[in-house]
Amino acid sequence: MLGNDPNVVYIVNEGTFNTPTFGTLKRYDTSTGAKIEIKKMASTRIDDAQVSDDGKWVLFTVFAAGQAQLRAVRMDGQGLQTLHCAAPGSHISNAQWSIDQKWVVFDEGPATGKRLPAEHGKRFPANRTGTTGSGSRL
């Protein structure tokens, strides 16, 4: 929900898989039918996204500048933060908020196209206040 209306967040990628031109997070207001751009990023491919339970943040993974990254942005498009940058040749997947919304969890491992075993998972604290400390807080 954003305001009183339920929204669906979706991804639009332009260009090719390995050479993206733009990656855009958008939201669709199911009551009004409005399509609103949250954030458009050049030379970026967005792989997945998840909205926080309070509906104020979007957690998503991108491939930009040859590197997989974990990012978050407010639903109004402000406060874009890079939370984690994967090692060269690595991939970030399965990013999600913890049940209590205090952590961000994700998998990181070789970019092989195979699902990663659970021991590759990582987690970061998330306080969604819009402040950053070590680059791992929201």
- Is 134 within the bounds of a domain? no
Range of the domain at 82: 7-125
Per-residue model confidence as pLDDT tens digits over 10-66: 999 999 988 999 999 999 999 999 999 999 999 999 999 999 988 899 999 999 988
DSSP-derived letter for residue 134 is S
Closest CA to 81 of 72, 93, 91: 72
Total domain count, the chain: 1
Closest CA to 58 of 71, 67, 46: 71
- Is 2 within the bounds of a domain? no
CATH number at 121 reads 2.120.10.30
Q: What angle do CA 21, 27, 31 make, to 5 degrees?
A: 150
- Is 25 within the bounds of a domain? yes
Q: Which of 75-79, 80-84, 115-119, 131-135 has the lowest mean pLDDT?
A: 131-135
Closest CA to 58 of 97, 19, 93, 31: 97
Range 81-95 average pLDDT: 91
- Is 133 within the bounds of a domain? no
- Is 23 within the bounds of a domain? yes
Range 103-120 average pLDDT: 66
Asked if residue 70 has pLDDT above 70, the reply is yes
Instruction: Tell me the pTM.
Output: 0.80
| Distance from C-alpha of 125 to C-alpha of 129, rounded to nearest angstrom | 12
- Is 62 within the bounds of a domain? yes
